[in-house]
Every structure is written in C-alpha cells, then in structure tokens.
C-alpha cells in the first residue's frame, strides 16, 4: 500500500519554477542524502512543471527538453534511485499544463506508460486548462487507471486545488494525496489563509489518501518562484508544525543545497516528523481559544489535537496573530473531565524536554506567530 503515512520529499516548483535542469536535480539528490533528509523520511524528489518540449514525438510521447535534461529522464531517474530516493514528475489533466506545456488529456495511458518506463515513482497531476464539459473526478479516475495499468507502483498526487468538493470523492479515484488549497506563497498571510481554510476537513484524510495543504516554504526567505515576501524562522517553525499536525504531506520547497541552520533544524525535527508520520494517520481537529469574528472565522488563538497510535495525543498551540497571546486550554474540551482522575503528562517537541503534568488546563503565553507543541499521555493522578 502506497501512502500509509503522509508522503515526504522535495519538489522543484516553489524555488525554481521553470529554471530546472538535470544538474539541479542531481545536486539536490546528493544534498538530500548528505544533509540527512532522506534518513529523516524525505524520500521523493519531484520535478514539477516546465520539463518537456512543446511538442510530442512521432509516437505521441512526451519528450524531455534536451537543453534542460540532455541525458533524458530514465538516466536521471536511475541516478536518483541509486541515491536511495524515489523519482517524481508532473503532468496535468487538461489540454496544457499550468505553464503551457503538453498535458495528458486524452493521452493518459501513453503518458502513464512513459512515466513508468522512465522509472517514475510519483506523479503530481494538476488541473489547468481542463475542458469545462468534463468532470474533474472522471479525469482523475482516468489517470489513476492508467497508472495502475502500467504495473508500477506510482504514487498519485491529485492537485485540483480543493475545487469541485474534491474531498468527497477523491479517495474513490485511487489518488494517494489531494490538494485542498490554491498555491502557497512564501508569506504569513498565505500560510494563515491555508490553515484557516482547513476547518472541517479533518474527516477526509487518512492512510492511503492524505489531505495535501501544499508544499512547504520553510527556508525560502522570500527567494524563488513563490518567494513573495518571505517569513521569519518563528513563522516557518509554526508553518511546519501546522503541516505536521494536519497530517499534510511534507514536500520541501526551498533550495536544500543552501539551507540555513534554522531551516535544517525545523525540517529535521524528528519528533515533529513522528507526529506527522504517526501510523494511525489521523488529521488533527481544532479547538478555538478565542471568539468568532465578524467574518465567521475563528480567532487567531488556536489549539490542534491529533490522536496518536500509542494512545496519546499531539497538542499544538498556535498564535496566528502579530501580538503575544495568553492561551488556556481546559482539558474537558479534550474530553477529560476533572472527575476522571487523570491528567496529561506533557513533552515539549520543540524544547525537547518534559513539560510537567497538566491537571485541569494548559496555560501559557505565546509570542507573535509562535507555537508550542506537546506530545501528551494520560496519567492517573
């Protein structure tokens, strides 16, 4: 079974856009191994849009751009595989990809076989230039069937941006992850908008088919293809923590060849990754700590709770605002009444230390944009 836990890896789009090449992918593969990213679980290396020539060959097959990929995709996939990584590529269910390159509409089976012949292990499948008369669900079923027909295990990443009530039907197509948002940008407003858009989607994600809230922007610092503004390290820490709590696939978007120490520390926090990769595969639910605003959205002070396979919980406190906030979570909001005679033993996943036993509530003050994430276990008082 593919995607027993949320897929992890790296994707070229956020930083590089169309500026991709054989050299970039090989250097990235080298760094993913050297920096310990593969060992930490980041196994997929995915080439996004802009890799092909503008015309198919005489047999109707997609052709890699020889200026960018002079040795072809099979040789590049072989190099990635030799590093112990898995190789991913991109196509689209429309007449063109989002950047205007040949897409797979009415070519699903030949394209799927081409990808399989090259050694592809992951396909990101976008939703641009789709004929309005065809339902998205039919086109995702079609490509899923084409991938299965190849006989190769290819993880199917469906990217239709959360449209068409995708959460209600995508698992049935055979997809392994599904985008529930528009494209992320490297700024806090974008991250916050994605986070608040997820309220109520927690029932639609689990082993075999995960809710993908888009690629990570940790460590971009305003550079690259979606580097519109940049974030602080504190914001990146909260961004990564939210993605872990929400059980999103963790696809790195920065240039891993030049990571800062802070970026490395965030992306390789093994204790946070363990929360994301918990085998029970449950997306967290949200408890608002503040009131409801005029727009109906919950306030910026939030707690996310994720049941874990060992019987414990991950509990994440988040301050989405630009001002310090005092937060207090009553344990009975988790289902733990005082009369039960139990408390929660807390371990801080960013401080990497025990944080005491909570009896009736957990209370603290969080700085602007900051977070605190605990691993909690029930203890008899």
| Residues with catalytic function | 126, 183
User: Which residues touch 298 (CB under 8 Å, ≥6 apart)?
Assistant: 196, 199, 286, 288, 290, 292
User: By the 8 A CB rule, do 349 and 375 touch?
Assistant: yes
- What is the token pair recorded at 194? 């994605």
CA angle 326, 375, 341 (to 5 degrees): 85
With beta carbons less than 8 A apart as the criterion, state whether 6 and 276 touch.
yes
Tokens 């200026």, residue? 67
- Integer angstrom CA distances of residue 221 from 188, 256, 301: 11, 13, 25
Q: What is the dihedral of CA 96, 100, 102, 105, to 10 degrees?
A: -10
3-state secondary structure at position 354 = strand
State the first-to-last Cα distance of the chain, in angstroms, to the nearest integer. 41
Tokens of 35: 């920096």
Q: Do residues 47 and 22 lie in contact, with contact meaning Cβ atoms separated by under 8 Å?
A: no
By CB atoms closer than 10 A (0-12, 13-18, 19+), residue 16 is buried
At 199 the three-state DSSP class reads coil
Location of structure tokens 């963790």 = 250
Relative to beta strand 285-288, strand 301-307 is antiparallel
């Amino acid at each position: 079974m593919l995607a027993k836990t949320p897929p992890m890896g790296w994707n070229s789009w956020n930083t590089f856009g169309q500026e991709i090449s054989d050299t970039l992918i090989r250097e990235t593969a080298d760094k993913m191994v050297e920096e310990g990213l593969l060992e930490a679980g980041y196994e997929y290396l995915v080439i996004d849009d802009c890799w092909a020539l503008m015309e198919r060959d005489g047999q109707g097959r997609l052709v890699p751009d020889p200026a960018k990929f002079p040795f072809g995709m099979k040789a590049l996939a072989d190099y990635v595989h030799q590093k112990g990584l898995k190789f991913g590529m991109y196509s689209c269910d429309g007449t063109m990809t989002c950047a205007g390159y040949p897409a797979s509409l009415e070519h699903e089976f030949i394209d799927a076989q081409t990808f399989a012949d090259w050694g592809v292990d992951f396909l990101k499948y976008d939703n641009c230039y789709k004929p309005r008369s065809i339902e998205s669900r039919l086109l995702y079923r079609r490509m899923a069937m084409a991938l299965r027909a190849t006989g190769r295990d290819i993880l199917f990443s469906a990217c239709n941006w959360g449209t068409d009530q995708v959460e209600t039907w995508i698992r049935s197509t055979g997809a392994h992850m599904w985008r529930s948002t528009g494209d992320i940008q490297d700024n806090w407003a974008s991250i916050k908008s994605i986070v608040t858009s997820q309220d109520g989607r927690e029932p639609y994600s689990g082993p075999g088919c995960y809710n993908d809230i888009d690629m990570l922007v940790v460590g971009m610092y305003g550079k690259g293809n979606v580097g519109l503004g940049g974030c602080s390290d504190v914001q990146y820490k909260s961004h990564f923590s939210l993605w872990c709590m929400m059980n999103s696939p963790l696809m790195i978007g920065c240039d891993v060849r030049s990571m800062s120490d802070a970026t490395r520390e965030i992306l390789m926090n093994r204790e946070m990754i363990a929360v994301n990769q918990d085998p029970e595969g449950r997306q967290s639910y949200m408890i608002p700590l503040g009131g409801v605003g005029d727009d109906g959205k919950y306030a910026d002070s939030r707690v996310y709770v994720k049941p874990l396979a060992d019987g414990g919980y991950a509990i994440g406190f988040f301050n989405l605002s630009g001002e310090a906030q005092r937060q207090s979570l009553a344990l009975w909001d988790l289902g733990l009444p005082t009369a039960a005679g139990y408390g929660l033993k807390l371990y801080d996943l960013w401080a990497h230390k025990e944080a005491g036993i909570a009896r009736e509530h957990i209370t603290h003050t969080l700085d602007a944009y900051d977070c605190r994430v605990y691993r909690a276990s029930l203890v008899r008082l």
